[in-house]
Structure 1
């Protein structure tokens, strides 16, 4: 579904990605792991057309979308749940959700999708008229996910979806990601908390200093001693 092919990106003279290759297959949850400044979020922005690579291609559903306008990429079926949610704080929950369907004209289907979103996120049905800025972090994350789904995407890019959430909401958000995926939506998830990401990932990549240094299934990655040492806090027992 999504194929990132030998991407090289730069911020001015500074190279961020070095021949990064990655793919997301239909109905997969793919996690992208890595420390701060490893290039994870920039890769997500490259997929969404916010950052244009100097070399390489981004293919989606067989079409080259490299560097195309973000609005055109969203219309093709990619949605975004950005880091820190990026909601319109002064608008209501309902208004924020409907903004996800801004490029659609099918009014009846939009209303049906809104009902479906409220079934998926029943907590939001009680908050529809409240301004997004007064919601808890977990509730705002649900709005951001619902807004993405309102575009009827084939793929959702999620940037740090559990950041700043309480443990209760973290579990809820991970469960919701799995539910969305079970309905046929592929997910590319940037996540710094490897133990959470690998809990639900079908496949995972590790990005380090702008290079993919490891890839495997989520289960294999979680069992890899290198990942346990670097990301999962494994402690060695003295002999």
Structure 2
């Protein structure tokens, strides 16, 4: 059995080094602020998890105000620890305000993580019933002279019969807003899996009937 080749990515190595340094700085600052033992190691994990959760919200689409807010909060905590441990702060005598900030961080991180995890749903999870409703009701048809006449003539009846070579019925009409939502879902599926979304998956993601999903898939090609 041949061993798989190991490929070192310079960007990945740089990211691991930066994460390790930031992790150590956060641990040192928490330890200097009175958090000993496992508590000091939990602070870097909490800050990094909040960063990841905020970044996922920013990449998910939709409203980005909450994502940017908590991303900046976590980034400020990480950068603050890096600067404080670089000689800008005497870790042997930490001021009281910094001890208060470190002690109150778990509540802040819990609030941010909860709001990010249970905030607004992703665009593909929103109901599509409003998009399926027609923009306006079709105008009521007025009765013609042949319908009001109780005894129509044979010529009038023959003129109303459609010819044998008439055009087929039009296909299912798709609202433009639903087509735009389906295109966004298809793009996200292509980025995540590298393949084109099929009709059954598109129907399941949008929650629409099969004929409507086939009409949407036709417009996406």
User: TM-score normalized by structure 2?
Assistant: 0.21
* Greater relative contact order (CA < 8 Å, ≥ 6 in sequence): 1
Q: Which has the higher strand share?
A: 1
Higher helix share: 2
TM-score (norm 1): 0.20
